Amino acid sequence: MPMRNSRADTLLFAAVLLLDCGVLAAGNGPATSRPAESRATEAETGIWIRVNQIGFLPDDPKIAILSCDEPQTGTFSVGDFTASIGEDQGAWGPFRHNYRLDFTKVTRSGRYRVRFGAVESLPFTVGRDAYADVPEKLLGFMRLQRCGDNPVTGKKCHQQDAIDTIDGRKVDLVGGWHDAADRLKHMITTTYCVAALFLAGAEEEARHGAALVGKLQPDSDTIYVQIGDDRDHMPPATLWHDDQSDYGWGKGGPRAAWRATGKPEGPKYKNNSSGMASLAGRASAAMTLAGNLKTALSMYDLARRRPGNAMSVPVRAPHYYGESTYYDDLEWAATELYIATKDPQYLKQAIEHARQAGPNPWMGKSRHGHYEFFPYVNLAHWRLYPHVDEEAKKMLADHYRVGLEAVRQIAERNPYRLGTPLVWCSTNDVIALATQAVLYEKMTGDPTYRTLAAEARDWIFGRNPWGVSMVIGVPESGNPARRPHHRFHSMAGILPVGGLVDGPVYKDINDSLKFEPFGDDLYARFQSEIGVYHDCYEDFSTNEPIIDGTVSLLLLLKVW
């Protein structure tokens, strides 16, 4: 079905070129039949070089990974720079031998490759503008995800959202963003996206989401956690503007508006909801940043009256966003209210909630539940820091440092310096770690975790065992995700460029979420028990783009 929109037509044309020609328009990227890193030299030598395919700011730590099954010695080069490949870091993932190629001394602006013998990496940039084009790509994905009135497709959708599942009343919940590749809308992620977009300086996109968040609390005791549910997965599969899902009011009719009730909810499978503070607190922070203090104060009051966690509602399948922390959201709400009003009561409350929140509990763990510690980095510590005395500053910095050190201890055990768990939506954890490390240095001036942050960012942009940038279509001249689990890709040939995919997961997680055959695995050589990733539509556990992760990456690049 053609889109009457020049941007959509351009995207469709580009996607058709990719499919028809089997090659990228520029650079030496991959054919659709095999990844770029399977070029003859690498396949023949059994040596692969992984590097951040976007590149580096001049002062960034710069480390590539050379991986192989036979031990190596010798030197590598980056432009005029030459150095030893260093010590063998040992086996990890799919490779028996790994080497860390440090070229931090390369600071001159330009385009480079890492070379070792006959093998070379994909190209990358060193320069102050290396990331200049990435934020707009991320925002382009968010615009594609818009619900209500979509500027990319030129189509309206879900104009009848929604009907309250408890009392049957009609409520206006039009707007926001579709979650990932689905047509439903999660307020757990939407509230975060609005607040983080404001902090990232993305005013227009933030205000699009804020219009919906401002409608989530129609009265003092009600707040909605979800619009629609996994009934949207039922056939027929359609694009958002032609959604024929039936929620009991006819095909394509109104959708369910699920309240956060403070208790387990779900008609078949139950979540473990225990309160409203996680959702209402984060919504309050978003509304304060939007300048809507009346709504922000009402939501903060609800959060304080109803402590506990609001979770998404499962209907057909047992999966849900099982958040387990809420003091961070209370801290964020109080902090933004203090910044906006300078009322000392909010400063006092923010400090108390910061003590209660403490270090982020997921850091240092090998696993955690699905969205258990969302949003994974407590931005309130950073926002509060400039407004408190030295004692409170030390507490906030220590909260960040304790988590970072726990991750660093794990990261030092493997050549990629990956210290975050490969659970579902693992890219969220990686970006949260990098963000926390950058904010910690900005707060304290302590550069201890600068390299840890850089290596986490580099993992996202291709310095991983698969050699894949986890941002769809970015960079064009590299090897990014190109066959995502997204309806616009599978049904309309429109690649959702700029969306951050879930990322690799432990093999047992992927096996448990495999509901249909994946087909040929382009990256079979690089899979292991440690982690798997598939650039194919069928793998929704590693290759589905997520709005919260995309916004988190935007914020990371803003504060870097």
Same structural domain, 123 and 65: yes
pLDDT in tens, 490-549: 999 999 999 999 999 999 999 999 888 888 899 999 999 999 999 999 999 999 999 999
Q: Let me know whether 102 and 55 are in one domain.
A: yes
What pLDDT sits at residue 516?
84
Cα separations (Å) of 372 from 71, 326, 430, 517?
Answer: 41, 11, 15, 29
Q: Are 320 and 343 spatial neighbours (Cβ–Cβ below 8 Å)?
A: no
- Per-residue confidence (pLDDT) for residue 303, from 0 to 100: 98
CATH number (domain holding residue 215): 1.50.10.10
> Which amino acid type is present at position 504?
P
Residue 448, domain member (yes or no)? no
**Co-location of 222 and 302 in the same domain:** yes
Q: In this structure, are residues 161 and 174 in contact, taking their beta carbons and an 8 Å threshold?
A: yes
Please give the pLDDT value at position 52. Answer: 98
C-alpha separations of 288 from 23, 99, 296, 335 in Å: 47, 48, 5, 10
- Residue-wise pLDDT tens digits, 197-228: 999 999 999 999 999 999 999 999 999 999 99
Same-domain check for residues 199 and 312:
yes
Beta strands in 103-183 (DSSP E): 110-112, 114-116, 119-120, 124-126, 163-164
Q: Is the peptide bond before 475 cis (omega within 30 degrees of 0)?
A: yes
What single-letter amino acid sits at 37? E
Torsion over CA of 435, 436, 442 and 445, rounded to 10 degrees? -130
- Statement to judge: residues 126 and 152 lie in one domain: no
Residue 235: per-residue pLDDT = 82
CA 237 remoteness from chain centre: 25
Residues 53-95 pLDDT 10s = 999 999 999 999 999 999 999 999 999 999 999 999 999 999 9
Q: Is residue 230 part of a domain?
A: yes
pLDDT digits (tens, 9 = 90+) for 341-364: 999 999 999 999 999 999 999 999
pLDDT confidence of 45, banded at 50, 70, 90?
confident
List pLDDT tens digits, range 166-175.
999 999 999 9
Say yes or no to pLDDT of 40 above 50: no
The chain-wide mean pLDDT, for the chain, equals 92
The last residue of one of the domains, among 296, 317, 338, is 317
- The answer to whether residues 86 and 114 belong to one domain is yes
Any domain includes 421: no
Q: What is the DSSP pairing of strand 63-68 with strand 110-112?
A: unpaired
pLDDT at 18: 34
Confidence of residue 12 (pLDDT cuts 50, 70, 90): very low
pLDDT of residue 517: 86
Boundary-marking domain end, from 288, 317, 346: 317
Q: For residues 118 and 239, state if they share a domain.
A: no
* pLDDT above 90: residue 233: no
Per-residue CA distances from 515 to 171, 188, 369 (Å): 35, 26, 20
Residue 495: which of 5, 98, 55, 7 has the closest Cα?
A: 7
Within-domain flag for 466: no
**Res 38 pLDDT > 90:** no
Any domain includes 185: yes
Per-residue confidence band for 99, with pLDDT thresholds at 50, 70 and 90:
very high
**SS3 state at 114:** strand
Percent of the chain with pLDDT over 90: 89
The CATH number of whichever domain residue 120 belongs to comes to 2.60.40.10
Query: What would the pLDDT profile of 450-470 be if each residue is shown by its tens digit?
Result: 999 999 999 999 999 999 999
Last residue of a domain, one of 130, 160, 182: 130
557, part of any domain: no
Per-residue confidence band for 20, with pLDDT thresholds at 50, 70 and 90: very low
Over pLDDT 70: what percentage of the chain? 93
Q: Are residues 181 and 310 in the same domain?
A: yes
Least confident of 43-52, 192-201, 396-405, 423-432: 43-52
pTM of the predicted model as reported, rounded to 2 decimal places: 0.92
Looking at the predicted structure, is the pLDDT value of residue 33 above 70? no
Please compute Rg for the chain using Cα positions. Answer: 23
Give residue 234's pLDDT: 84
Given a cut of 50, whether residue 485 has pLDDT beyond it is yes
Helix or strand run (H / E) with residue 185: strand 185-186
> What is the rounded CA–CA span in Å between residue 544 and residue 557?
21
CA torsion angle 238 244 248 249 (round to 10): 150
pLDDT given at position 28: 32
| Amino acid 15: pLDDT | 36
Domain of residue 100, residue span: 48-130
pLDDT for the residue numbered 321: 95
Tens digits of residue pLDDT in 236-291: 888 989 999 999 999 999 999 999 999 999 999 999 999 999 999 999 999 999 99
Residue with tokens 């951040």: 52
Number of domains in the chain: 2
Mean pLDDT of 370-376: 97
pLDDT value, residue 19:
34
Q: What is the pLDDT of residue 37?
A: 44
Write down the pLDDT at residue 139: 98
For residues 114 and 223, state if they share a domain: no
Q: Which one-letter amino acid corresponds to residue 416? A: Y
Say whether both 204 and 220 belong to one domain: yes
Q: Does residue 8 lie within any of the structural domains?
A: no
- Average pLDDT for residues 419-442, to the nearest whole number? 98
Q: Which residue has the higher pLDDT, 322 or 19?
A: 322
Query: Would you say residue 97 lies in a domain?
Result: yes
- Give yes or no: residues 79 and 197 share one domain: no
Extended strands (E) in 394-517? 500-501
Residues 166, 285: one domain?
yes
Supply the pLDDT for residue 35.
47
